[in-house]
Each structure stands twice: as structure tokens, then as C-alpha cells.
Amino acid sequence: MAELTFHSPTTLAEAFDLMKTHGDDARLIAGGTALVVMMKQSLVVAEHLVSLRAIPGLDGVTLKGDALHIGALTRHRDVETSPVVREHLPFLADVYGRVATVRIRNSATVGGGLAHADPSQDPPAALMVLDARVRITSPRGDREVAVADLFRDYYETVLRPDELIAELIVPIPASTARTTYLKFLPRTEDDYATVAVAALAEVDGGVCRRLRVALIAAGPTPVHAEAVEQALEGKPVSAEAIRAAAALVADAVDPMDDFRGTADYKRDMAVVFTRRALEQVLGQAGS
């Protein structure tokens, strides 16, 4: 590892200055769970680490109107245990609670997780079905990007070099919406998924009024399964319709061979777990 200088700015302006001064030699660090591993493996080389931890106002969960605002520095464990999240969006608390071990969740931050952009990370699937967005800040001001549009490729986001994620904004779904997150874990409970599916649905009078489906560990970025949604939205719910719609996910995913399974196996499991997720949110479980 190259010699490192650790900076601990106490304002965003100071952090932006450090990033500008050190350019490609500098990296932001939040919980450090991903960055330190990448540095140890020489996948990332940095001479300056700019910590976000001492900057006030970047963590915590607040309810504003009909959305949860979660600061980028909020740790996974804090989302999982937050009384506000548990009361208004228990699904989100549960999904953050599915990440790795308590030890990792006690350090890993919401912003760091999203910026890391590993397509096997759990939260993006749930955040996509919830239509969540991030507020990105830079010396040029703020902009918002839907989580569905945040990822560009393996470990790559649309963040520009002078930008950082300031907060995550998660709209609270209708009280009638059903949600699920199915994480296929054939190895151990704290592993990354072989494949995982999040789904959200609103059903009225036996008709699917609204559907969101997203998968992780199924391609270079999290996958928004639009074809599945379009096949079912506005239509009567039936076991046959669900089965046919789930089959469409095979063309939407692009998994890689690795020690969690071959690409073909993961594609098959994407279909199986999508069907199970649809059965749960559309009220056909056990059909």
C-alpha cells in the first residue's frame, strides 16, 4: 500500500477543497468496509483519504412529508434499528438488516454502499422498487438522481469526481402496497446473494394496479425488471400470468459465472425467485 494521508474535514467545503487539491490521488471514505478491502487488493490506489465522518449533518433519519430522508453517513445498522424506519417503512429496515453481519452493518454507511456500486449489494433492489433517489452534492450545487439511474457498470456510478452522495430519499409507499425481498443464500446466512429479488405491488379487486421488480447479483448493475412489470400491470392476477411474467426476467438479467453459481444457474434462479416474489406481493403465495 502507498503511504497514506488521512484527512478529517469538518465541513463539506473543506472536503470538496481536499478532493480538488488531490484529484485522482484522493478518495472519500465513510465506513471503510469496501474501500479498505479494495485498497488491500490494489484495486484502488489512493494517497489521500478524505473522511466524511466529522462533517455534521450527514447522518440520521428524518421523516419529511411522505418520505424518509436518510443521511449518507447513516450506518446500515442504524437504518435497520431506527424507530422511524421501523414504524414507517419496516421493509427497508429488514433489507438493510440482511446485509452481511452486524459487524459490517455497524460500519457500512448508506452513501458508501451506494457509491461502491457492487451489483451484489442488497439495498439497491429494495430502493429501486421504492422509487428512492439520492441527493448528490458538489461545489456546483445539488442534484437528485433516482437509485434506478445511479449505476453505470460494475463498481461504477454516474457520480462525477467532485460529487458526493449527501442523502437518500425514500418515498413511503401506499399502506396497501405489499413488499418482499427474497435473497437466495445457498451458502451462509451472511453471504452475498447468489441472486435476490425485491418486489412491490398494489392490487385492487384482483387486478395488479402497480408493480415494481428489481434484482441484484444478476448483471453488471442492479436490474429493473420492466418487462415483468409491464406484463402484469393493469391485468387480473393469476398464477399463470405470474409464471409467464417471471419467465421474462431471464432476458433482463446478465449474470456472471462465479463461485456462487454459473450464469445459467443464476438466470434460472432469477426466474424462480422472481416468481416467488410475485406470488407473495400479488397475493398468490402457495398457488
Ligand X SMILES: Cc1cc2nc3c(=O)[nH]c(=O)nc-3n(C[C@H](O)[C@H](O)[C@H](O)COP(=O)(O)OP(=O)(O)OC[C@H]3O[C@@H](n4cnc5c(N)ncnc54)[C@H](O)[C@@H]3O)c2cc1C
- Among positions 69, 77, 88, 116, the unique one binding ligand X when judged by CB under 6 A: 116
Q: Give the count of residues interacting with ligand X (CB under 6 A).
A: 30
Q: Which residue has the cell 460494475?
A: 154
- How many other β-carbons are positioned within 10 Å of the β-carbon of residue 273? 23
CA dihedral 15, 19, 20, 25 (to 10 degrees): 160
54 touching ligand X, by CB under 6 A: no
Binding mask 6-45 for ligand X (x = CB under 6 A): ---------------------xxxxxxxxx-x--------
Q: To the nearest whole angstrom, how small is the minimum distance from the Cβ of residue 174 to ligand X?
A: 26
119 touching ligand X, by CB under 6 A: no
Q: Helices (H) and strands (E) in the chain — how many of each?
A: 12, 14
User: Which residue from 248, 234, 247 is spatially nearest to 282, judged by alpha carbons?
Assistant: 234
Stretch that binds ligand X, among 10-18, 79-87, 159-167, 244-252 (CB under 6 A): 159-167
- Any residues with CB less than 8 A from the CB of 154 and at least 6 apart, and which? 117, 118, 119, 220, 221
Residue nearest to ligand X (CB): 112
Stretch that binds ligand X, among 17-25, 59-67, 117-125, 232-240 (CB under 6 A): 117-125
- The amino acid present at 84, given as its one-letter code, is V
55, 30 contact by CB (below 8 A): no
Stretch that binds ligand X, among 9-17, 118-126, 138-146, 201-209 (CB under 6 A): 118-126
Phi, psi for residue 140 in degrees, rounded to 5: -90, -5
Q: Is 81 exposed, middle or buried (0-12, 13-18, 19+ CB in 10 A)?
A: middle
108 touching ligand X, by CB under 6 A: yes
111 touching ligand X, by CB under 6 A: yes
95 touching ligand X, by CB under 6 A: no
Q: To the nearest whole angstrom, how small is the minimum distance from the Cβ of residue 236 to ligand X?
A: 35
229 touching ligand X, by CB under 6 A: no
- Any residues with CB less than 8 A from the CB of 283 and at least 6 apart, and which? 178, 203, 237
Stretch that binds ligand X, among 4-12, 97-105, 230-238, 266-274 (CB under 6 A): 97-105
Site of interaction with ligand X (CB under 6 A): 27-35, 37, 52, 72, 99-100, 104, 107-109, 111-113, 115-116, 121-123, 159, 164-165, 192
